[in-house]
Amino acid sequence: MKYLIKNGRVIDPANKIDGIMDVLISDGKIAEIGKEVTGKADEIIDATNLIVAPGFVDMHTHLREPGREDEETIQSGTAAAVKGGYTSICCMPNTEPAIDNIEAIKAIKEIIKKDAACNVFIIGAITKARLGKALTDLAAMKKEGVVGISDDGSSVADKKVLEEALKEAKKENVLLIEHCEDATLSAGGVINKGFVSTKMGLRGIPAQSEYEVVRRDIELARKTVAPIHIAHVSCKESVELIRKAKRDGVAISAETAPHYFALTEECSSTYDTNTKMNPPLRTKEDVRAIKDGLKDGTIDAIATDHAPHTDAEKDVEFDFAPFGIIGLETALSLAAMELVDTKILSWSDLIGKMASNPARLLGLDKGNLKKGSPADLVMIDPAKEYVYTKSSIVSRSKNSPFIGWKLKAKVTCVFVGGNKACLS
Partner 1 sequence: MKTSAEKKIIWTKKDLLGLEYLSREEIEFILYTAEGFKEVTTRQIKKVPALRGKTVVNLFYEPSTRTRTSFELAAKRLSADVINIGIESSSVRKGETLIDTGKNIEALKIDIIVVRHSASGAPNILARSVGSSVVNAGDGWHEHPTQALLDMFTLKSKLGRLEGLNVSIIGDIAHSRVARSNIWGLTKLGANVTVCAPPMLIPDGVEKMGVKVTSDIDIALKDADAINVLRMQFERDGALAFPSKLEYFKQYGVTSERLKDCKKNIVVMHPGPINRGIEMSSEVADGANSVILEQVTNGIAVRMAVLYLVSGARRDVS
Under the rule (CB under 8 A), what is the footprint of partner 1? 193-202, 204, 270-271, 312, 315-320
Q: Smallest distance, Å, CB 276 to partner 1?
A: 11
List the one residue out of 279, 296, 222 whose CA is nearest residue 252.
Answer: 222
**CA–CA separation, 198 vs 102, rounded Å?**
46
Do 316 and 273 contact (CB within 8 A), yes or no? yes
Pair 303, 58: CB distance under 8 Å:
yes
Q: Which is nearer to partner 1, 297 or 322 (CB)?
A: 322
* Residues 372 and 30 sit within 8 Å (Cβ to Cβ): yes
Set 182, 217, 300, 305: catalytic member: 305
The CB-of-70 to partner 1 minimum distance in angstroms stands at: 14
CB of 186 to partner 1, least distance (A): 14
Which of 266/292 has CB closer to partner 1? 266
- Name residues whose C-beta falls within 8 Å of residue 105's C-beta, 6 or more positions apart in sequence: 99, 122, 124, 141, 144, 145, 146
CB of 202 to partner 1, least distance (A): 5
Residue of 52, 91, 75, 112 lying closest to 375 (CA atoms): 52
Nearer to partner 1, 189 or 358 (CB): 189
Nearer residue to partner 1 within complex by CB, 205 or 263 = 205
**Cβ neighbour number for residue 268 with a 10 Å cutoff:** 25
Cβ(230)–Cβ(254) under 8 Å?
yes
- Among residues 409, 285, 292, the alpha carbon closest in space to that of 341 is found at 409
Closest separation in Å from C-beta 200 to partner 1? 6
Nearer to partner 1, 199 or 406 (CB): 199
Strands 406-416 and 377-387: antiparallel
CA distance 312 to 97: 22
CB of 193 to partner 1, least distance (A): 6
Other C-beta atoms lying within 10 Å of the C-beta of residue 412: 17
Whether 137 is a known active-site residue: answer no
Q: Which is nearer to partner 1, 101 or 209 (CB)?
A: 209
The 3-state secondary structure of 318-345 reads HHHCCCCCCCCCCHHHHHHHHHHCCCCC
Query: Which run of H or of E encompasses 80?
Result: helix 74-83
Q: Which is nearer to partner 1, 142 or 193 (CB)?
A: 193
Residue type, 173: N
Beta partners for residue 253, in sequence order? 229
CA distances from 309 to 68, 89, 153, 270, 324 (A): 9, 19, 15, 19, 7
CB of 230 to partner 1, least distance (A): 25
Active site residues: 305
